[in-house]
Chains A and B, each alone.
Chain A
Amino acid sequence: MPEGKLCNRQPVTTLEQLQALLADKGGKQYYEEMNRLEVDAKALWDTIQRTCKSRIRTWLEICTHCGLCAESCFYYLANHKDPSQVPAYKIQSTLGEIIRRKGRVDNAFLQYTMDTVFAKCTCCNRCAIYCPLGIDTGVMASYTRGLLFSQGFTPWEMKIGSGMHRIFRAQMDVTTEDWVETCQWMAEETSEDWPGLEIPIDKEGADILYTVNAREPKHYPEDIAQAAILFHVAGENWTVPSEGWEETSLAMFAGDWEGCRQQVQSVYDAMARLRPKRMVVTECGHAYRATVIEGPYWAGLPTGKTPVETLHYVEWVAEALRTGKLKIDPRKKIKEPVTYQDSCNYIRNGGLADAARYIMSRIAEDFREMGPSREHNFCCGGGGGLNGIGRYREQRNIGLKVKRDQILATGAKLVVAPCHNCWDAIRDLEEIYRIGIRWTFLKPLLINMIEVPEHLRPREE
């Protein structure tokens, strides 16, 4: 069978295709079809010749096989220093081999490659900062995911996720109507307690355009309400777009670059339409990476920057605390030991470690750094889409041990994790390993600690 009905080289672009995939519970048929999916070696090699230039080719060629990348990789550490988890081995035995064979690889090899670049690498890019030659295996794993996607070898959930973005411009089936109604519902409900609170939709020329992760309207609408309360108390002139509100990109995890472009373009179109002064992204790491760090390149913007200046939520909070827009009641600061999960995407790959430290210095009395921390922190274990892929759940759970041990070493029972993937991974590690910790985004913490001006106080007070 050259291509399957569900597992094939075509991206999902219609609701019908998407529903067929969703109906295949756990991807049973999908993976069965994958076993029979033919490799289009010519197309694979053509793509490599077109897209694999001197940066990646040089990395693969001059890797001196020194092994310094080994201990930088949390998978290597979590798997009892299994040599097959050394980043250099993982990429040389997959992408390196595909190139050496000029794309002439078979189905089994591409499945091995898929299992490697999805279940043994979260594209956290930590190895890049430990390699003497600056070789970024995470970048190469991500590139390889793109090659695999073009050949139809992508995990079931990633195929669905990329399809969601192409159809809904969101990682989940949240329509414009769903989103707008959720905002209106949250505004209505929250304003009962917070007089004057609004969630302005499509307001032109606002100071802040606020954009989110689709999980928030879908599963955690209170997050939107919390954001609204904090903007309200800070006195911000803000808005949300009715379209182009989704920041995340499962397409990025999947390696569906056209899907990535379409997704970020919807956000940039909202910027053009509403002309905000700045954009603020919710507490999500990969969303920021996709739309702010990588997105401008997918959209072909030669500045490498988003059309309007963009802040991650931690930057906005740090700024609001610094300028006094948000004031912390000193009596309500966190008294217990607390630690912070540095997200790979906005700390290592986004440079926001200082903003996070500033926030912690203002809200916590006993802040404890993980070791290592900042840009050197380990991935939570759930990055790169791993949290959502059933086929690799066991490998993901093993990987969580490194984060578990880091948290335990701090002695803190509370983990601040302003990133959806980190938040999920830490929740799951508690569920699996039972170490007695709690985890939280910033928003609920801040709401309980800020000083609210008299005229804005909730009605029940």
Chain B
Amino acid sequence: MMSDTLKPSLAPPAARRDHGLSLGALARRPETGSFLGMLIVFAFFAVFGGSSFLGLGGAASWLNVAAEIGIVALPVGLLMIAGELDLSVGSVIPAASMTVAVLSGYFDLPLVVGIAAALALGLLVGFVNGLLVLRTGVPSFIITLGSLFAVAGLTLGISVLVTGSTGVALQTGPLGKALLGSFIGGMFQVTILWWIAALLAVGYILHVSPIGNWIFALGGDKVSARNEGIPIDRLTVQLFMGSGFCSAFVGISQAILYNSAQVSTGQSFIFNSIISVVIGGVLLTGGFGSVVGIAFGTITFAIVSQGIFYTGFDANWASLIIGVLLLLAVLMNNTFRRLALSATTSKGKAK
């Protein structure tokens, strides 16, 4: 029954599995396929990329890419588990970059103001997306496709109107630089730490807190979820706001990292985040997925897109590998999901 009592003897939330490994239990986990994929891709580039790929510099190059995509992929993944899509991330990122650069660079306001405004902008776009999806009943793919273009147009229009250019320089103080745009050890972007923080936060929401159960239920069967009393409207809006917020965060950190912002920099994030999420074992139609899987998917994607430079191959082939990888990942994930559904009660521990 509902036990609110804290039992000190119980293990921390990470130790959720209290039974031994069985094939069924393993197949049931959405990240099994993506973990194998990540290992294979890593091994492939370790062989062809050699020591420079395996060195610190190699690790930094794919971790930096993974961190930026990962911060966007996490909330996008939550939305996909809940059965929605968000394409607007592609224009929220440059919009947030421009907001912080225009306010704190062009107008010389304190950096905090610029950051707060940019994050608020992300939340607002997410709120509008969520509200439109709920009110119109139009699929979120279409709604966020619309807001992708609308926000891009607004960003371009307002930037040119206010600053007369499509790029704005941004000089930040040492604290802002250290927190959002610095390199640890000269190689590792500080964003990696933010990604880890985001992984922990989203991991808590999806797998530990009861809200995670609501997200799975929402993506599994919306009508039933509503009948069970889950506040699906509020939850949907919150999830869209989460992806707006995280996209804005990435936009801000890019502006601070590169000391400037451009009106058109985020388009690649749209598909890269979705690819990472899908490779990570999230079901496109919702109801299935895991945060660890999304992290593996993001790393896999980042290794492919960066690892190619360490091999002797022409970098033009990277997209081909990513395309094939995506298809393979989906097929493998489907196989594992079928296994999970057919895995009967593990006989070994049946009483």
Task: Answer yes or no: do A and B interact.
Answer: no
